[in-house]
Amino acid sequence: MARQELAQYLRDRRAALRPHEIGLTETGTARRTPGLRREEVAELAHMSVDYYTRLEQARGPRPSARILDALARALRLTPAERSHLFRLAGSTAPPGTSAVRRVRPHVARMLDRLPETGAIVTDAAYHVVAWNPLAQALLGADLGDGTTNLARRRFLGQGRTYESSGAEEFGHIAVARLRRAADRYPHDPQLAALLAELHEGSEEFRQIWQTHPVHAPGHRTKTLDHPEAGALRLNCDVLLVPEDDQEVVLMTADPGSPAVRALRRLARQAT
């Protein structure tokens, strides 16, 4: 436990939070600093002022996960700030109760700045939660209805499916990620329903699930048999959005290749 660093972090976050941000009026006794008072943070976190004061003075005991969660809520910490708080206290931040299905605006805007790259964002359960026009041209118009799940598409044939040289490998990748999601979000009803559907509807999924596959996201190359553009050799690279347990998948082609020219044509048609 980094006691001094934790104390400083709590003081800094308290000073950065303005009373009006938590619904407090700034009338009455003048504040010596623009941030919250210790007693206000303690009240928001449902703990004694003495206990919170000792934490800020690096004199308190190692706080439990429950205390840290309460402090994170009281101080309006972002997911990344919450994780940092837990690390300073010598703990690992537990995940939220369900997979994050919203997309941060800056991530969504990034997709639109990649005109010759097909890009999608998937959540921990392989729901496609954001995409750009070229990705839709590559992967099918049904991508735009906002209900596409790549695991359902792969194992249950839901939505447009193309022949791909990486289909077998992706099956193992998908199961590995879904197994990881099941461990992280055991009380997520949507995830539980998806896993039940896949177990019931796909013998292949059940067989791969039993092998406990493990996979780290990274670079892959596959050939996609597109109905209009033909066989496209694509590079697939994954960027992580760790605070939301999401992945940005980027689909590109090698410079000067027939595939890159096909991507440009598809991009023009998609705009």
**Interatomic CA distance for residues 267 and 176, integer angstroms:** 32
Looking at residue 185, its pLDDT comes to 86
The CATH H-level superfamily of 3-88 is: lambda repressor-like DNA-binding domains (1.10.260.40)
- Average pLDDT over the chain reads 88
Q: Is the pLDDT of residue 6 over 80?
A: yes
What fold is seen in the domain 105-270? Beta-Lactamase (3.30.450)
Looking at residue 23, its pLDDT comes to 67
Q: Which residues contact 149 (CB under 8 A, 6 or more apart)?
A: 125, 126, 127, 128, 158, 194
Domain boundaries, the chain: 3-88, 105-270
Whole-Å CA distances, 247 to 6, 163, 181, 216: 30, 23, 13, 12
Q: Is the pLDDT of residue 157 over 90?
A: no
200-221: pLDDT as tens digits = 999 999 999 999 998 888 888 9
Question: Residue type at 171?
Answer: G
The pair of structure tokens assigned to 48 is: 């004694």
Instruction: Record the pTM.
Output: 0.69
HSE of 80, CA atoms in CB hemisphere, 13 A = 3
18-44: pLDDT as tens digits = 887 776 665 555 566 678 889 999 999
Looking at residue 122, its pLDDT comes to 95
